[in-house]
Structure 1
Amino acid sequence: MEVTGKIKMIDTTKEVGSSGFKKRDVVITTDEQYPQHILVQFVQDKCDLLNGFAVGEAVKIDINLRGREWVNPQGETVYFNTIQGWRIGKLQAEAPQQQAPPMPAAQTFEPAPSFTEEEHDDLPF
């Protein structure tokens, strides 16, 4: 899956817990009728992928949806979803479409020769 849009925010890399788990968040604003602000999380060695990017750049991020279950201290089961990025690239600015050159006036072309039915039908079938 993928999400495209402009970078709204890039967070710093954070280390969570005692195991040294690293995560880094980026928020992408989609370009649609009702723009959405999508939080995408990069983890571990993927955090460094965001180093070459800046706020305002148009990007495409390849993502995976992740979900997990957690039982809180009250014994209730709670579910969490995460959008996890694994690749990011800059979107190329759309090149202006080239227009076809104008058609020359009909007078600049030679008239087509007249063919008879026998001359025209030279196909073997």
Structure 2
Amino acid sequence: MSLQVTGKIQQILKPESGVSRAGKEWKKQEFVIETEEQFPRKVCFTLFGDKSSLLDGFSEGDEVDVSFNLESREFNGKWYHNINAWKLDKKQGEGSLPEPPPEFRPEDIPPEPADDSDSSDLPF
């Protein structure tokens, strides 16, 4: 299941790492965004392994589009959920819009041509 949400980064948590029971090293990075809805919600996303580098260049306050998957697993009769981000894009905000055109001034109007009643550009 692949989903996407837009929001502002509220917090970037400290990276975590360790070694699994199987002896494999792991690392994860979590971050929290606040959604842009009528009733904003805070959501904590997880980046595992090499995906943790996706946060490079981002800081708290940045508006982002997050693509993610939901995952649930059962352990000892309880269910645990992960929100795994796999893509992170800076949202193109108002600051990235092109500059507006310059203001119109009266001197921008070209002069009228001289009045030659005999010569006309019209074909009829």
Aligned CA distance change for structure 1 residues 86 and 6 (closer, same or farther; 3 Å) = same
Find the counterpart in structure 1 of residue 86 from structure 2. 86
Deviations 1:76-114 (A, max 9, x none): x11111110000000001449x8xxxxxxxxxxxxxxxx
Correspondence for 1:41 among 18, 38, 46: 46
Deviations 1:16-57 (A, max 9, x none): 344321111010101111110000100000001101100000
Find the counterpart in structure 1 of residue 10 from structure 2. 8
Correspondence for 2:35 among 22, 30, 37: 30
Counterpart-to-counterpart distance in 2, 1:20 and 1:37: 29
Equivalences, count: 92
Counterpart-to-counterpart distance in 1, 2:82 and 2:32: 13
Write out aligned runs for 1:49-64 (5 A): 49-64=54-69
Which stretches of structure 1, 4 residues or more, deviate above 3 A after TM superposition? Answer: none
Counterpart-to-counterpart distance in 2, 1:6 and 1:60: 9
Q: Does the 8 Å contact 1:66/1:84 carry over to 2?
A: yes
Q: TM-score, normalised by structure 2?
A: 0.69
Query: Following TM superposition, by how much is the alpha carbon of 1:66 offset from its aligned partner in structure 2, in angstroms?
Result: 0.7
The percentage of counterpart residues that share the same residue type is 36
Query: Following TM superposition, by how much is the alpha carbon of 1:69 offset from its aligned partner in structure 2, in angstroms?
Result: 1.0
Counterpart-to-counterpart distance in 2, 1:16 and 1:31: 34
> Amino acid of the residue matched to residue 14 of structure 1?
E
Query: Following TM superposition, by how much is the alpha carbon of 1:64 offset from its aligned partner in structure 2, in angstroms?
Result: 0.3
RMSD: 1.6
Aligned residue for 1:16, secondary structure, equals strand
Aligned CA distance change for structure 1 residues 78 and 17 (closer, same or farther; 3 Å) = farther
